[in-house]
Amino acid sequence: MPTLSGITFIRNGIERGYPFIEAIATLAALCDEVVVAVGNSTDGTREAIVAAGFSNVRILDTVWDDTNRTGGTELARQTNIALRNASGQWCLYLQGDEIIHEDDYWLLLDEIARADRDRHVEALLFRWLHFYGSYDYIGIGRQWYRREIRAFRNTGLVMSWGDAQGFRTRDERGRIRKLRARQTDVRIFHYGWVRHPRAHLAKQRALDSLFHDDAWIAANLPTAEDFPHHCYELARYEGTHPAVMHDRIERDRVWCRHFDPNRRPRKPLAVAVSDWIEKHTGWRIGEYRNFIEVR
């Protein structure tokens, strides 16, 4: 088994409702070391990580560039700070609202070990479950990305790309290209859309500021605390959640019960047609792929 570094970043995770302690706990359970880039926070985020007492977690104190509003690239810059300090032969990356189920731990480690023996494979693709509104529903259809890279060889040439959703690498000539990635059945439980309305508003304001100017935010950011209602189609989730999330889920029941799964916008015709084709053939028309899939 190659050595494995976990990497992640976070800033003001408490105020913005991120399950970042649970994400770090997931990395700590799987990895030899975990590198966390902790941005200049004002809500006790750093103190919460220290108090959690992880023995293999290393904190890097960082300062975010709040003037960087270009395509969310500040998120990639923070990810790359953690990545540059990772010493493992492979890296496992989770954002502050992404968790891996313990049922998939051995599958993940086996996939990394198998990929390490095949030099043609540079990265691994995971499957996504996007929880929405409460822990009982997931968003489905082309509105949601289905898969992305979350584990890769730590060659020193890999970099976080765009708004930190995926990764790319430099080739022997210094040119940037997509990574060769193999699909796995490891699941990412994404809880980014399950937050108390107050935390959701704080998170959305912070995220929008990485993409837009103040005038856009003033015109488009909701002015009242409310659940998000942007998902076209939901499905009831009948499975189990990762064990590290159980306490949070129990605490959140008091407000999650107010989410109305029937309050959502009408699906545009083009999206409805695309979803119908995908449902019957498995083909998602025009799907964005920030990777080169290999078998």
Listed range (15-29, 167-181, 236-250) with the worst mean pLDDT:
167-181
Residue 224 has pLDDT above 80, yes or no: no
Q: Average pLDDT of the chain?
A: 95
Residue 223 has pLDDT above 80, yes or no: no
The mean per-residue pLDDT over the stretch 167-177 comes to: 91
Listed range (28-37, 120-129, 283-292) with the worst mean pLDDT:
283-292
Which pLDDT score is estimated for 171? 87
Q: Which amino acid is present at 282?
A: G
Tokens of 6: 């976990």
Residue 65 has pLDDT above 90, yes or no: yes
Please list, in sequence order, all residues whose beta carbon lies within 8 angstroms of the beta carbon of residue 258, skipping any fewer than 6 positions away.
227
Q: Which residue, chain included where needed, has tokens 């765009």?
A: 162
The mean per-residue pLDDT over the stretch 91-111 comes to: 98
The mean per-residue pLDDT over the stretch 165-188 comes to: 94
Question: How many domains does the chain fold into?
Answer: 1
pLDDT band for position 252 (cuts 50, 70, 90): very high
The mean per-residue pLDDT over the stretch 19-40 comes to: 98
Tokens of 153: 């060889």
- Return the beta strands (E) in the chain as ranges: 4-10, 33-38, 57-61, 90-93, 98-100, 123-132, 137-139, 147-153, 158-161, 166-170, 176-178, 180-193, 234-236, 292-294
The mean per-residue pLDDT over the stretch 149-173 comes to: 94
The mean per-residue pLDDT over the stretch 205-218 comes to: 89
| CATH assignment of the domain containing 251 | 3.90.550
Domain that holds residue 75: 1-295
Among candidate residues 76, 73, 74, 86, the one with its CA nearest the CA of residue 36: 86
pLDDT band for position 6 (cuts 50, 70, 90): very high
Which pLDDT score is estimated for 289? 92
The mean per-residue pLDDT over the stretch 250-279 comes to: 94
The mean per-residue pLDDT over the stretch 37-53 comes to: 97
- In eight-state DSSP terms, residue 129 is E
